[in-house]
Structure 1
């Protein structure tokens, strides 16, 4: 019996799966670059560069659409249980990366409004928060690339550090606003930007949960240690 047609189908399917992983990693790298650029334009107070970051979000949206189409093609090939997990995880991860790109664009967009007000020192705190989120994103993309559930779990646990730093910055900005009402406009913009970055961390942990699901199936990660205390302030 000639198994060549079957082997060709399996090989083709594996190649398509690898291409899907590559697309998601490329999409994730684009989102990480967007976040890094957004943090940079906040520090440099560069409106033109901020607008470029906002415009670049369309490329991530287009890649998410392309990834969804590839997922549909794989689904039609009659995948097995492991392949179904790959497909479901890919759909979720693509959605999370697209939202990360949106939040990075929001930071850049808000920076244009921030630049209309006098400079405030708290952009350094925003940068530090962004660096944490960027590290989470880089680490979780590596975990997805390597199929490393333990690395994904570490990203999941590290979100507590980002939450704690977000809460600290939130307190600092509120204090600064109360001490001098002239800072209310600038600090309000920074509060929104900080929340966008905190949400990026949440989406990175969503990706971590999907990496865990991809490797282990239905056994979910334990609940996250949430340290976002802003609701009580």
Structure 2
């Protein structure tokens, strides 16, 4: 197979990954908007579109395996394909968390809400969405410096999480009517915090793509 055709397939892989990333970013954003606005219609939309994201990941993975098997690529090319495979599975997990947030929205009946905490959740989600969008651009540019910077943004996500956590616990202690929504805020904040962790994972893959080295960027994140 000709080099130029291989390069075209690599570019396609790249573009599909980016497209999947945009869909995931959109899902994260919509799921939180729906949650704050009690919009079950949008929440359902996020849940329905998740199959598209899953299909994209399967397609990317299949294509990656095919390219490795048929081309037996070396060094940089192989790194690129591995990065797409690994990072797309991180994206897919982010989308799963967006689905979980959407399911929380659908569960929420007329419970007592806490506006200050919802404001914090909204801010946290805007911040996480910014990380997701930035990491996609860093990926397209294979920008190692940006990737390292974006991974550092995750500290702020953890601060949001800790603040929402303690405010929710306080609120539940002082007013038992907020127990159901308070517990829910904890879940949503946890999902957002995890999404931040997956962004950090993708940052690590970008560093790998740029340098060939597997690097731990944040010591406190989960796989």
Give the structure-1-normalised TM-score: 0.90
> CA–CA distance in 1 between the matches of 2:183 and 2:214?
41
Shift of 1:226: 4.2
Q: Which residue of 2 aligns with 1:181?
A: 176
**2:192 equivalent to 1:203:** no
Does residue 96 in structure 1 map to residue 94 in structure 2? no
C-alpha distance in 1 between matches for 2:14 and 2:81: 10
2:95 matched to 1:81?
Answer: no
- SS of 1:147's equivalent in the other structure is coil
Q: Is the 8 A contact 2:207 2:213 kept in 1?
A: no
Partner of 1:62: 55
- Residue 48 of structure 1: how far off its partner (Å): 2.0
2:126 counterpart (105, 121, 131): 131
User: Displacement, 1:225?
Assistant: 5.8
Aligned-pair distance for 1:210?
A: 0.1
Aligned to 2:104: 110
Q: Secondary structure at 2:2's aligned position in 1?
A: helix
Measure, in 2, the Cα distance between the counterparts of 1:151 and 1:173: 33
- Please list, as runs of the form range in 1=range in 2, the aligned pairs for 1:137-216 lying within 5 A after superposition: 137-216=132-211
Q: RMSD value over aligned CA atoms?
A: 1.6
C-alpha separation in 1, matches of 2:165 and 2:199: 21
Query: TM-score, with normalisation over the residues of structure 2?
Result: 0.94
Which residue of 2 is the match for residue 5 of structure 1?
Answer: none
Structure 2: distance between partners of 1:190 and 1:115: 14
SS state of the match for residue 213, structure 2?
coil
Query: Structure 1 CA distance, aligned partners of 2:109 and 2:7?
Result: 49
Show structure 1 runs of 4+ deviating over 3 A: none
1:80–1:129: structure 2 CA closer, same or farther, 3 Å change rule?
A: same
The aligned length equals 220
Superposed, which structure 2 residues align to 1:220-231 within 5 Å? 220-221=215-216, 223-224=217-218, 226=220
Q: Distance in 2 between matches of 1:83 and 1:96?
A: 20
Cα distance in 1 for partners of 2:210, 2:145 equals 10
Question: Is residue 2:32 matched to residue 1:39?
Answer: yes
Unmatched tracts of structure 2, length 5 or more:
none
Give the Å deviation of 1:218: 1.8
SS of the equivalent of 2:24 reads helix
Q: CA deviation at 1:116?
A: 3.7
- 1:124-144 Cα offsets, whole Å, 9 max, x none, are 111111111111111111000
Aligned-residue offset at 1:220: 2.0
Larger Rg: 1
**Offset from partner CA, 1:103-146 (integer Å, 9 cap, x none):** 01111111122244233212111111111111111111100001
